[in-house]
Amino acid sequence: MKALVTGSAGFIGTHVSRAMLADGFDVTGYDQKDTDEPGVESVIGNFLDLESLTTAVRGHDVIVHIGAIGDVYLAATNPELAAAVNVTGSTNIALAAEAAGARVVYASTWEVYGDPVYEPVDENHPCEPDHPYNITKLAGERMLLAANRLRDVPVIALRLGTAYGLGMRPNSVFEIFIAKALAGEPITIQGDGSQGRQFTHARDIARAFVAAAKSEARGMPLNVVSPEMISIKQLAELVTERFPTEVTYGQPRPGDVTPSYVSASRIEEVLGWKAEVSFEEGMEELLSADRG
Amino acid sequence: MKALVTGSAGFIGTHVSRAMLADGFDVTGYDQKDTDEPGVESVIGNFLDLESLTTAVRGHDVIVHIGAIGDVYLAATNPELAAAVNVTGSTNIALAAEAAGARVVYASTWEVYGDPVYEPVDENHPCEPDHPYNITKLAGERMLLAANRLRDVPVIALRLGTAYGLGMRPNSVFEIFIAKALAGEPITIQGDGSQGRQFTHARDIARAFVAAAKSEARGMPLNVVSPEMISIKQLAELVTERFPTEVTYGQPRPGDVTPSYVSASRIEEVLGWKAEVSFEEGMEELLSADRG
């Protein structure tokens, strides 16, 4: 089986490419920069260019579409870019998949739900995104699921919990806290720190992509979240236990999404997936990493 | 007050430009083709080009954003075009409005709701669009409403009922039925003809845009629908009463949206608007039109 992974040079893309390779897939990495991962064939391209995307996708059985404007703050400052990449780009993926007869697994996000009207939030919960990031991620998901119905392209959308693990962006809350603590500078929590997230380890997320790529299931979104709800305050405490420093509190950031408890029951039924990496274990790995 | 109307050369854009002029606005028509309407200053442009759009919008107090891929069947065949025009294009409008300090009135659609979970459908009803047309129209609406919150651009979104009136596209069900009947050819109803629509006259819709442009209300969607639910069968009967011909039945078309009864209570409270043109009156005007 041949898989093409978009966004393969990024944090989640790297973990997913590795897991696909380990599972026996031939993996093509498709990104704007070189995919520097042993065993992955690197193709430099931009999925906003439908013609070259269609050529690149030819001969693949599955497209794992992770490439996106995934940084909430970049989406806020450049919403027109988020619209183009996340909506038109995902629509191009649908059309290229149709031409190749390929299946699509799409990286969506738990943030599509907006404020919860009931909890735990399952996949039937209404979606009321209110920020350029989650609005465009949901629209991209819906364009792909529409192609599942109208063009017979098999599509699964994975609504990912907040991902963490080695290789995260330097502006993730994890990397910021650890870098500040290591430098002996104070850690600043935005808001009161009580806001929680179901931080989901990148290796768990990667396993979900592999399972979705191999499944016959289609035409549905599936939540991919760890059951543990961790507050930002708890995260800061784990960091300062290891690298003692002061914790201060600042203003909440615009665009931060209200936490809601999200259920991963459906994916366990459909794909037999559940999270395996505990937050304690994942943090231990991050805190012990060589940052020389 | 100076208004810029996108899509001004189209069916709804023409009615809205006329109504804005009649209400005392200076009107600039912004379209890819010439806006041939007396009193309207025509600017030829493409709102996918943010830079030239920003220049064109400067000096206007309000942008009435009607330009879109509004043809459901074109959106189905070219979803990547619907994504670009309806989502990125509407995001560009938000940014150009921010730069100009202008208010935006956006032409959205009742089709954003998807299958009704309760009726009448009000503006708090969940939105579950499932077709490239309504998915992209909703995403464009949400990008604009996000700009209302995050960038302080005053935005109202009008969720229009199915518009009809003089100047409709030749591929509207009205124009197809009338043209067939006039030619003595059979009229074909797709499906069983029981599906209803709250057909809303273009002059009523135009009044809603004028009211929204002059209002201080912002940050909300408002349904703009006539209270009359008319079935396609009733529509065919009104046409064949005037121009007798045979009525036949065909397969339902993919992309046709399940009817639901939509409420216009909120816009009556907020803007004092309600539909004034009865369906009988609107049809009389269409059937009596000179089609030389």
* Three state DSSP letters for B176-202: HHHHHHHCCCCEEEECCCCCEECCEEH
Minimum-distance CB partner of A135 among B126, B129, B143: B143
Q: Give residue B253's pLDDT.
A: 73
Alpha-carbon separation of residue B144 from B71, B94, B101 (angstroms): 21, 6, 14
Which residue ranges in chain B fall short of pLDDT 50?
Answer: none
- Rounded to an integer, the average pLDDT of A31-42 is 96
Q: Which of B8, B15, B16 is nearest to B41 (CA)?
A: B8
pLDDT band, residue A171 (cuts 50/70/90): confident
CATH number at residue B107: 3.40.50.720
| Secondary structure tally for chain B: helices H, strands E | 11, 13
**A112 lies in which domain range?**
2-164+200-226+262-278
Q: Give residue B255's pLDDT.
A: 59
- Inter-chain Cβ pairs, chain A and chain B, closer than 8 A: 97
Specify the number of domains making up chain B.
Answer: 1
**Does A23 map to a domain?**
yes
- Rounded to an integer, the average pLDDT of A103-118 is 96
**Does A195 map to a domain?**
no
- Rounded to an integer, the average pLDDT of A76-92 is 98
Contact A56, A28 (CB under 8 A): yes
Cβ separation A88–B92 shorter than 8 A = no
CB contacts of A80 in chain B (<8 Å) are 50, 88, 91-92, 95
d(CA A67, CA A65) in angstroms, rounded, equals 6
| Beta bridge partners of residue A44, listed in sequence order | A31
Cβ separation A146–B136 shorter than 8 A = no
Q: Provide the terminal-to-terminal Cα distance of chain A, rounded to the nearest Å.
A: 38
d(CA A221, CA A123) in angstroms, rounded, equals 7
Minimum-distance CB partner of B80 among A50, A80, A139: A50
- Rounded to an integer, the average pLDDT of A241-263 is 86
**Does A292 map to a domain?**
no
**Does A235 map to a domain?**
no
Mutate to test the interface with B, among A52, A54, A91 (most CBs of B within 10 A): A91
Minimum-distance CB partner of A150 among B76, B84, B87: B76
Q: Which residue has the higher pLDDT, A104 or A173?
A: A104
DSSP state for residue A136 in the 8-state scheme: H
pLDDT band, residue A118 (cuts 50/70/90): very high
User: Cα-Cα-Cα-Cα dihedral of A24, A99, B136, A265, to 10°?
Assistant: -30
Residues 6+ apart with CB under 8 A from B212: B105, B156, B158, B222, B271
Q: Give residue A253's pLDDT.
A: 73
- Rounded to an integer, the average pLDDT of A28-40 is 97
CB contacts of A147 in chain B (<8 Å) are 79
Q: What is the DSSP string of B20-62?
A: HHHTT-EEEEEESS----TTPEEEE--TT-HHHHHHHHTT-SE
Provide the 3-class DSSP secondary structure of residue A216. Answer: coil
Q: Give residue A76's pLDDT.
A: 97
Minimum-distance CB partner of A80 among B79, B95, B128: B95
| Beta bridge partners of residue B65, listed in sequence order | B6, B106
ipTM at complex level: 0.95
**Does B22 map to a domain?**
yes
**Does A130 map to a domain?**
yes
**Does B255 map to a domain?**
no
**Does B205 map to a domain?**
yes
CA distance B170 to chain A (A): 25
Provide the 3-class DSSP secondary structure of residue A244. Answer: coil
